Amino acid sequence: MAKMIDGKLVSKKITEWVAREVKDMTDAGHRKPFLGVILIGDNPASKIYVGRKETACREVGFDTTTIRFDEDVPEDEVIQQIREFNNNPNVDGILVQLPLPEHMDFLRVFNELSPHKDIDGLTPHSQGLLALNRAHHIPCTPKGIIKLIKAIDFEMKGVHAAVVGRSALVGSPIAKLLTHHHATVTTVHSRTKNPWEFTSTADLLVVAAGVPKLVDEKWVKKDAVVIDVGIHRVDDKICGDVDFDRVKEKASWITPVPGGVGPMTIAALLTNCFNAYKTHVS
């Protein structure tokens, strides 16, 4: 039976550290860190995520503002808002919540973000630096995953790590990060034939497929560490991309859903924004 990787506990330690650092800075006479958020449209999941981020910011002593746009807003209006945040010296980080509406060009919008304020690490500039292992801001979910792996003292060097999924938000950056940590990385995705043949030899398995309970025990090597990035509501119950009840019997460690990766994404956002703030005020 696998041990649980407690993302709530690890993230709490990180957010408490950020709160102490913010207090030290404001006690010393500096302004508070500021996160500017842009939320477009009515995607229910996006609204929940942005609400959680706002709450987390306030809990650690950041100021934050969310600019909300209708789904059909012209791209230029969003770009105008990004430029305002870029040019405002009191804004430390800018977060444009994904997914963007269909009519928007991701590259055009994200290329507008100042790389120093791109605390999500998602601009083409930031992703290029990440590929070169020189990132200023590492994308939040992958950064949180690495922290969880380190929290259980798992040695990444030399192991076989498998990543399920290749999205710009999670799969692609976590595969790069694991490589930078000297793992040998296999990526499988929706077009891979018999993906379990690859994943079932992996010592570390990161699942970011976006498919409820896709991964069962057949995909998992005995005593592997399993990180589940997915979160879904199915028949009024929350589940991940991993069939938790079956995989927990085979893995050595596993993240629960909820309470695994989710809180770590927010903790990573806070640390990225705090790091940007430090470069702005000192």
Please report which residue ranges of 88-233 form alpha helices under DSSP H.
106-110, 124-131, 140-151, 171-180, 196-199
Q: How many residues bind ligand GUN (CB under 6 A)?
A: 10
Contact characters 66-105, ligand GUN, x per CB under 6 A: -----------------------------xxxx-------
Q: At residue 57, what is the residue type? A: C
Contact characters 223-262, ligand GUN, x per CB under 6 A: ----------------------------------------
Query: Is 127 among the catalytic positions?
Result: no
Catalytic residue among 53, 176, 213, 250: 53
Catalytic residue among 92, 117, 118, 120: 120
Contact characters 165-204, ligand GUN, x per CB under 6 A: ----x-----------------------------------
Query: Is 80 among the catalytic positions?
Result: no
* Contact in structure between 254 and 226 (CB atoms under 8 Å): yes
Our CB check for ligand GUN shows the closer of 247 and 264 to be: 264
As a whole number of angstroms, the distance between CA 213 and CA 33 comes to 39
Does 127 participate in binding ligand GUN (rule CB under 6 A)?
no
Our CB check for ligand GUN shows the closer of 141 and 200 to be: 141
Q: Which residues contact 94 (CB under 8 A, 6 or more apart)?
A: 35, 36, 37, 38, 82, 85, 86, 113, 114, 117, 118, 119
As a whole number of angstroms, the distance between CA 222 and CA 115 comes to 42
As a whole number of angstroms, the distance between CA 231 and CA 188 comes to 19
Tokens 């609204």 belong to: 47
Which residues of this protein are in contact with ligand GUN, per CB under 6 A?
49, 95-98, 120, 140-141, 169, 265
